[in-house]
Amino acid sequence: AFQMFRQGGDGQPAVQLSDSNFRHSRGAWRRINDKPTGELLFSSVPLDRNLTGEQRKTIATTYRLMDPLQPDKARVIAELPGTGWFGGSFNSAGNLILLTRYLSANQSEVWTLNVDTGKRERVLPQDDKIKATHFGGRFSRDGKGIFVASDRDGEFRELMYYDLTTKVLKSLTRGLPYDVEGASEDDEDDDGSSRVMYTRLNVKGKDELRAYDSVTFKEVPIKGVPDGSVGGVGTRRGSPEIVLNMVSARSPGDVFALNPVTGSAVQWTKAASPMETGHFKSQDIITWKSFDGREISGLINRAPVRFAGKRPVVINIHGGPEAQAKIGFSGRWNYFVDEMGITVIQPNVRGSSGFGKTFLELDNGFKREDSVKDIGALLDWIATQPDLDASRVLVVGGSYGGYMSLAVSTNYADRIAGAIDVVGISHFVTFLETTESYRRDLRRVEYGDERDPKMREFLNSISPLTNAGKIKKPLLVVQGKNDPRVPYTEAEQIVAKARTNGSMVWYLRAENEGHG
């Protein structure tokens, strides 16, 4: 459960600002002229350990404003139904905040909340018939509208501007087959005539920078963006420069100052590393056809050519399931590739984000194992590659990726050398019944509602625990004892069941760790 602290000055210890009986998320700062610190917006949801069974059925999200110098005087500004609320950027007047209500990976809403009166209003969608994602970004500098990301007009999330007076929604990135990942508006010119909205587009797993005039909505050219994926962009008042966080195969993150008009860039930081990273190569994109003819893609880090013969393979499956393997720094996997000569593949199976909203929901409910079949098709592809050894393939995954790793172990046991399951789901029914209540309903939308008899029967039939008798290859299970998302019992039960097969099973449980 996330908690908030205030760092003490002059070497004083940190001061805890939040109640440990809740999970907290930090919002934005509200500036107040007569207060040196302003007020901090944050949200809280209760944890199951403090609730009765009946209370767990109606979880709410509480929003508060707090002066961090007087945390005991934090005041409640809203009690919102459910737990999918996040965000909280203020308008320039400081009386409205912008919130997103997440219903599922394919449906969300944008709301405004008046912090003085507690009145809330759904802004988008205007019509209940519209089923799409709407993510609230921020108010425009003049307060007349809001910038949002939405896929209501197509397959991909577009950067849009919503005029709060005319109720007109206009897209800045219409026609681009890429998801908007985030945006930030710079400060206006002295005469108030020009503002630029900077946004990141997910271009095949690489975040690229785009800029638009936030008055005319026309694209503005940018020069000199350093090589890599743009992890974040910031602006500063009175300067034409922008600040970029750049991620690449050679750096987990460095900060650059860029003049987007002249293209002049200055690197401010150099990520510390005990080794030379300049030779690390970026991932390549690969594609293969799955069981239904659909094209699936992934990223590959091939072993250097100095390693002779066919190379062993690690398939590293992301979690979510609506996450995405993206181009960037490979971290620890560089050791496996560069020092051990292992090729690493990161698949984006159906259900991954970044490939359109239709692709995103192809693994929902009764279609769950279609994503596992995508890995089966990847195993077929590996067998066709002259530089890869299909007899030495290890499958790794965390969280939902842990389920995928276990599912591959039960569905394709004869085609892998082993598997690693990190904080993974071993049985969907027991998982849905024991995960924290603040996220249970959101997971039911993705996996299916275990209270429905037909869905419960299906979830039981595909769960790795049910099919653990098919696990024949070595298995390593890793789990945090304090995991609120995937309880440690998911690990304990698959370890116990798999060991009855006589399989080689290692189990690492970290007593004071959570989900990761």
Kindly report, residue by residue over 412-431, the tens digit of the pLDDT.
Answer: 999 999 999 999 999 999 99
The answer to whether residues 266 and 246 touch, using CB atoms and an 8 Å cutoff, is no
φ, ψ (nearest 5 deg) of residue 406: -65, -40
> Sheet holding 242-248: strands in order across?
229-235, 242-248, 251-258, 265-267
The answer to whether residues 218 and 197 touch, using CB atoms and an 8 Å cutoff, is no
The residue with greater pLDDT, 274 or 188, is: 274
Kindly report, residue by residue over 453-506, the tens digit of the pLDDT.
Answer: 999 999 999 999 999 999 999 999 999 999 999 999 999 999 999 999 888 999
pLDDT at 35: 66
Measured distance CA(353)–CA(360) in Å, rounded: 6
| 9 pLDDT above the threshold of 90 | no
The answer to whether residues 198 and 233 touch, using CB atoms and an 8 Å cutoff, is yes
Measured distance CA(179)–CA(360) in Å, rounded: 12
| 183 pLDDT above the threshold of 80 | no
Between strands 251-258 and 242-248, the pairing is antiparallel
Kindly report, residue by residue over 326-382, the tens digit of the pLDDT.
Answer: 999 999 999 999 999 999 999 999 999 999 999 999 999 999 999 999 999 999 999
Measured distance CA(378)–CA(92) in Å, rounded: 51
pLDDT at 185: 66
pTM confidence score: 0.90
Share of the chain above pLDDT 90, in %: 66
| 162 pLDDT above the threshold of 60 | yes
Measured distance CA(291)–CA(246) in Å, rounded: 37
For residue 33, give both structure tokens: 């002229």
pLDDT tier, 285 (very low <50, low <70, confident <90, very high otherwise): very high
